[in-house]
Amino acid sequence: MDAISSIDALSSALPTSLTSAPTRSTGDASFATSITGAIDELRGLQSQSDALKVAAVTGDLDDIHAAMIASTRAAVTLELVAAVRNKGVDAFNEIMRMQA
């Protein structure tokens, strides 16, 4: 469950200026809004997965496939969000290494 707590820490560490970033004039969502939405979706998928895991342990789950699919969706989404975060950090570091 370390991955879940790290995502919670990541989303709570986002500055409010990122979540209130203006959108472009074409109506497209900004990058920060997209990342925040992805983290919120990830949190929802993890909650659903956790609920199905509890139902499986208590014997209230009728379809084990639903629990496995929810767990896999949460894991894949976590990997995607982590990869996007890593690429963003790499891009920032590359920009910081540029000479003026």
Q: How many domains does the chain have?
A: 1
Note down the domain range covering 61.
2-15+28-97
pTM of the shown model: 0.62
Q: Is the pLDDT of residue 98 over 50?
A: yes
Confidence of residue 36 (pLDDT cuts 50, 70, 90): confident
pLDDT digits (tens, 9 = 90+) for 39-95: 999 999 999 999 999 999 998 988 899 899 999 999 999 999 999 989 999 999 999
Helices (H) and strands (E) in the chain, counts: 4, 0
22 part of a folded domain: no
Specify whether the CB–CB gap between 72 and 49 falls below 8 A. Answer: no
Average pLDDT value for residue range 11-20: 46
Mutual orientation of helices 2-13 and 31-58 as an angle, nearest 10°? 150
66 part of a folded domain: yes
Write the CB contacts of 76 (distance below 8 Å, at least 6 apart in sequence).
none
20 part of a folded domain: no
pLDDT at 99: 79
11 part of a folded domain: yes
